[in-house]
């Protein structure tokens, strides 16, 4: 009977311990499909390369370095244009886009959509203005590893207009990218919703593991007392 009484006394403790060791439940999370996520992060890397080569070209005083940066910049521009075109085709045909979070207001959703459309538009228009400005120079140029001969005569007025549009687009693009990045960080660190995890599922996995570890540690601490 003494042994039975001991087991009965320990049963609530064991039950409490097992219940405390259960994983912390997380809100149901939906994410973009894998192809869309891959397109997104490839675009991020290429855009970072575009910004780096543009700044390097502007700050360098060495002609060879400037020519190399311009060649890389031009090649990355064609790459991001092609990636964006394929991404838009995928988005309109097979992409799986998660719905907005329920707590987002209508105004917030409109702002997100407008900024997204502006980013897509610049990803298409910005490389075009730069590439056509290069062609309008009326000289041969290098693209990736290929030598492209002159395609049209020199159009100085058109080239000037296109370069001005390219510079304005670059500043606009930079502002939109900064706003996009800041908004994603606010959603993750301040609002603590799943907006960032939808495009970066690995962050959601890390957060789940961290919450599970904290729940396990709290249960062990409680049991130790």
Find the length of the chain.
Answer: 225
pTM over 0.95: no
Q: Cα(30)–Cα(51) distance, rounded to whole angstroms? A: 31
Q: How many CA atoms lie within 13 A of 207 on its CB side?
A: 17
pLDDT values of the chain reduced to their tens digit, one per residue, 225 residues: 444 444 444 444 444 444 444 443 334 447 899 999 999 999 999 999 999 999 999 999 999 999 999 999 999 999 999 999 999 999 999 998 888 888 889 999 999 999 999 999 999 999 999 999 999 999 999 999 999 999 999 999 999 999 999 999 999 999 999 999 999 999 889 988 888 888 888 875 555 555 545 455 555 555 455
Q: Give the pLDDT score at 224.
A: 53
Distance of alpha carbon 80 from alpha carbon 86, whole angstroms? 10
Q: What is the pLDDT of residue 200?
A: 87
Q: What is the DSSP string of 53-75?
A: HHHHHHH---HHHHHHHHHHHHH
CB-count exposure of residue 224 (10 Å: 0-12, 13-18, 19+): exposed
Residue boundaries of the structural domains of the chain: 31-207
Give the CATH number of domain 31-207.
1.20.950
Backbone dihedral angles phi then psi of residue 90, each to the nearest 5 degrees: -65, -40
Cβ atoms of 223 and 21 within 8 Å: the answer is no
């Amino acid at each position: 009977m003494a042994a039975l009484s001991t087991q009965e006394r320990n049963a609530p403790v064991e039950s409490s311990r097992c219940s405390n060791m259960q994983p912390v439940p997380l809100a149901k999370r939906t994410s973009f499909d894998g192809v869309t996520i891959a397109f997104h992060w490839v675009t991020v890397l290429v855009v970072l390369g575009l910004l780096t080569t543009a700044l390097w070209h502007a700050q360098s005083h060495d002609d060879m370095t400037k020519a190399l940066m311009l060649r890389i910049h031009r090649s990355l521009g064609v790459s991001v244009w092609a990636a964006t075109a394929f991404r838009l085709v995928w988005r309109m045909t097979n992409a799986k886009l998660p719905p907005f979070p329920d707590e987002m207001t209508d105004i917030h959703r409109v702002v997100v959509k407008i900024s997204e459309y502006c980013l897509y538009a610049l990803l298409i228009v910005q490389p075009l203005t730069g590439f056509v400005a290069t062609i309008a120079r009326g000289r041969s140029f290098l693209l990736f590893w290929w030598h492209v001969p002159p395609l049209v005569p020199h159009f100085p007025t058109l080239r000037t207009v296109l370069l001005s549009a390219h510079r304005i687009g670059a500043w606009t693009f930079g502002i939109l990218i900064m706003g996009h990045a800041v908004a994603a960080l606010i959603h993750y660190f301040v609002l603590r919703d799943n907006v960032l995890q939808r495009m970066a599922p690995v962050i959601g996995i890390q957060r789940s593991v961290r919450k599970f570890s904290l729940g396990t540690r709290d249960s062990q601490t409680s049991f130790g007392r």
